[in-house]
A and B are shown apart, each in its own frame.
Chain A
Amino acid sequence: MELLIFYPLAGLCVLFALGVVVSNSPINSAISLIGMMLGLAGVFVLLQAHFIAILQIIIYAGAIMVLFMFVIMLLNLKGKGEDDKWRSRDKNLLLTVLSGLLATGVLYKIIDIINAGDFNSPALPPETFGTVREVGTILFTEFVLPFEVASILLLVAMIGAVVLAKSKVD
């Protein structure tokens, strides 16, 4: 039953992810990315992590991607042939090699994990797993330091963005 939902979801995720990479127009890439994130949220639901799934939709699919779309529209990036600002990006050899190396490394690690893990008998999570209360408790007890560090990092990034934007306006 779970596999019946998992495979279509995972298939859709992969298809959308491919769409992000191969699509010619930036807006199509962005829409594919949204589709991929929604599929990923579905996978989270399958893993009983409802809270994480909803956060995935609100933050990534809902907020960040709207900003992406806004920027794409603001810069008016068109598809192939109409605007070479977008296309010229993929001619950088150094970037291509580096990202290729990175992808190979990630893939190697994933294969490593798959080989090491035992997927035949996953332990059933407790009833409260993935609820808002449970995630909140863990976040504010066990992982409170990384959590606060991450929020400070975001704050710093925000202040940095404001400073950068302001110096241009002045």
Chain B
Amino acid sequence: MILELTITLVKIFFIIGLTVGFFAPVLTWVERKQSAIMQDRVGANRADIMGFTALGLFHAIADAIKMFTKEDFVPQGANRFLHTLSPIIAVIPAILTFAVVPFGGQYELWGTNVNLVISDLDVGLLFVFAIASIATYGYVIAGWASNNNWSLLGSMRTASQMISYEVTMGLTIIGVLMVYGSMKLTEIGAAQEDFLSWGFFMQPLGLFMFLAASIAENKRIPFDAPEAESELVAGYFTEYSGLKFGMFFMAEFIEMVTIGAIVTILFFGAWHIPFLSAATILSWLDFLGANGANLVLMLIHIAVFFAKVIFFIWFQMTIRWTLPRFRYDQIMKLGWKILLPLSLANILVTGLVILAIQ
């Protein structure tokens, strides 16, 4: 009982530490650095301590200090309570999603079965989906509570965009469910041990639709009409400053990590290495003894998983700095007239293929 509790607590601290403590601040730096590289600039190299810049990494610390010390401004006529509540609603679901995300398989260590997921829910995949839909309110209420027409327009765009792309996202997920026959993210991950059974080969169309829909859900370029700075000042967070603005910012970056993790689990073999099964690695590590080999295997799998996640974060950033923003009507057209019929067709074809194989 106490052992289980300790293991769970360690997992929770690991995940929160990694997302809030590592990914969120470091990604602010990565985003600047990557845009600088792609636009042939030097970028993010001004913040220094005694002339030492650490490649601009101190910008993350400078950002944090700025956000904590900036004035927290609530505009006149705004709803103070909702104005404060909405950034919290936006950031909590982003972190909460990781409760069901497995970052490794199951390992036998000193007689204890370690399952590298905080909560192995039967409805895991749907949980991710449900939590993502709750995050919408953070953005929608933010614009409403700001008493600013730019914010309100941003909120309305958020609401309609999220509703539109949630449909596609849900239908894409159904294709994956049909292939692997489970909603448990751990089981979907474990089913992809063989390289050719990766979701990428099973649901190639599903992968691209899921990526498009999830980037739209995260409201990043090319789907950033809700915050479009050249049209709506900054959309729903126009009236936010200081730590509250920082929370919206953090939510966006953590969501990038979440998208990377979900795409990795559903489509890119989770923690598995292509053509290298866990049994093979274990046989190589035989000299460490059963426990030692399992421990090293676990660390390898965690590293492989996060390497894949980091690849997808890089991929999202590359898209962000490559494409221009879509027009609002183009976003709606893509969602309802292209992605929705395609995802329905995807389900039909998947069903037919499964029927033919059986």
Contacts and interface: CB of A to CB of B under 8 A. Distances in A.
Contact of A58 (B82, B130, B140, B156): B130
Interface in B152-207: 152, 155-156, 159-160, 162-163, 166, 170, 183
**Interchain residue pairs A-B with the least CB separation, the first 4:** A62-B133, A57-B130, A70-B159, A54-B126
Interface in A2-51: 27, 31, 34, 38, 50-51
Contacts of A61: 130, 133-134
B141 interface: yes
A62 B136 contact: yes
- How many residues of A sit at the interface, in one of the four size bands? 20 to 34
Contact of B122 (A69, A70, A132): A132
Contact of B134 (A50, A62, A74): A62
Nearest to A64: B163
B137 interface: yes
- Residues of B in contact with A, size category: 20 to 34
Interface string A93-130: 00000000000000000000000000000000000000
Contact of A27 (B123, B144, B160): B144
A55 B125 CA distance: 12
A63 interface: yes
Interface centre among B159, B160, B163, B183 (most CB of A within 10 A): B159
Contacts of A27: 141, 144
Given A54-B126, A62-B166, A73-B156, 15 more contacts: A27-B141, A31-B82, A51-B123, A54-B130, A55-B126, A57-B134, A58-B126, A66-B136, A66-B159, A67-B163, A69-B140, A69-B159, A70-B159, A70-B160, A73-B155
A137 interface: no
A31 B141 contact: yes
Given A62-B166, A66-B136, A54 B123 contact: yes
Tell me if B's interface is mostly helix, strand, loop or mixed: helix
A151 interface: no
Given A50-B123, A54-B127, A70 B137 contact: no
Interface of A: 27, 31, 34, 38, 50-51, 54-55, 57-58, 61-63, 65-67, 69-70, 73-74, 131-132
A74 B133 contact: no
B235 to A, nearest CB: 13
Nearest to A71: B159
B163 A70 contact: yes
Contacts of B129: 58
SS of A interface (majority): helix
A70 B140 CA distance: 8
B165 to A, nearest CB: 12
A151 to B, nearest CB: 15
Contact of A73 (B123, B133, B136, B159): B159
B310 interface: no
A63 B105 CA distance: 33
Interface string B104-142: 000000000000000001110011011101101100110
7 contacts: A54-B123, A58-B126, A61-B134, A69-B140, A69-B144, A73-B140, A132-B122
A14 to B, nearest CB: 20
